[in-house]
Structure 1
Amino acid sequence: MTAEEYAGLGGWTPEKLGLAGEVRAVVAAPDPVLSRPGPEVDPTSAEVVRLAADLVATMRVSPGCVGLAAPQVGVSAQVFAVDVTGHPKAVTVHGTFVLCNATVVEASRWKAGREGCMSVPDLTGDVKRASRLVVEGVLPGTGDPVRLVTDGFEARALQHEIDHCAGLLFLDRVAGAHAVYQRKVYL
C-alpha cells in the first residue's frame, strides 16, 4: 500500500477495527524497557491490535504528544503510533497511524531539530534526523504492508518512534551535553 492509498483510507485508527483503546501509564527513563530493542511482532495477533489501540488512546489524551511507542508503555515490542495532525511544524500529514516492525528504507536531507519525549519529561535536545524519509512497516490487525514517504516534522516523529522500538532515546542521538536543555514549564 502506498502512502497516498494509506492517507486516502484516513490512516489507521482503532475505531476502524471496532476497538476503544485504554489509556496506559507512560514509563520514564531510566526504566530498562526503554533501553532494550523490542522484538518484531505478529501484527495480526489480538494482543498487538489491543496494544495498537492503547497506544492511540494514550497518545490522544497526552497534550502535545505526536507519537508513542510500545516501550513507552512498558511493552518491549516494535509497535508505535504517530499523528502530527494540527502540529504547527507539520507539512506532510498522514493522520493517525500505527506501524509494526517498521524500518527506514531511505533517509536524506539531514537537519538538526529540537525534540522532547514523554519518557524524558524534564529535558529536550537537538537531534540530527533525516527530513525526507521512506519507511516500510505493517498495519496492525490486517497485516497489510505500508510504505510511507514523508518529510519534515512527520519524518522526525517516525524516526523518534522507530528509535524507541530499537531501545534508543533522543538523548542517545544528541551531539553531547551542550545539546541537552531543561524543558521549559509554562504555568
Structure 2
Amino acid sequence: MTVILLTPRRFADERGWFMETFHAQRYRDLGVDAAFVQDNHSYSAPPGTIRGIHFQRTPHAQAKLVRCVRGRIYDVAVDLRRDSPTFGQHVGAELSADNGHQLFVPAGFGHAFMTLESDCEVAYKVDDFYAPETEGGVRWDDPALGIDWPFAAAGATDAVLSAKDAILPLLADAELDFAYDGSPLLPLHP
C-alpha cells in the first residue's frame, strides 16, 4: 500500500457545499483498505507549527486518513520501511479547508504536517488505537530526509515544535520495524 492523495467531490450551491469525507466502499476501490477505529482532531495556533514526524510501531502501526478542516497545512508522509527501495523518501501536499484534499498514509510511513497559517485544525482517522508504548518518531529537519518545509509560505522563519518533537531521533537512529509490502512510495496524483 502506498500514500494516496484523495479529493472528495463537493456538491455546491448558493448555501455552500456538502461532501462525504469517508465512504468505505468508494475509498476501498481507490486503494484505502483500512478499518478505521479512532478519530483525532488537533488545533495549532501559530503558523510554522510542525507536528511530527510520528508513527506507531508494530503491533500497533497505524494507517491515517488526514484532512485539514480549518486553515492550510503542508502534509508529509515518509517511507520508513527499511527494505523499501524508497526508504527515507517522502511526498507532501497542501491540504486545506478550501481544497478538501485528504492524504491517506499507510502503516509503515511516518506522518507530519506544518501549518501554513494561524489557527489550523486537522482531523484524521487511524486504523489502530493509540498505544504509547509503540509510539516513535523521526526529526522533522533530518538532512537525510531532505524535506523542504515551506516556511516562506507560512510567513515563518523557524518551526514551532513540542518539546517531545524537538528531541526525536534522526532516521538512522530511529527504532523501526515496518515490513515492506512490495509497494514503493509513488508520486502523488490528485
Q: TM-score, normalised by structure 1?
A: 0.25
Q: Which has the larger radius of gyration?
A: 2
Higher relative contact order by CA 8 Å / sep ≥ 6: 1 or 2?
A: 2
Q: TM-score, normalised by structure 2?
A: 0.25
More strand by share: 2
More helix by share: 1
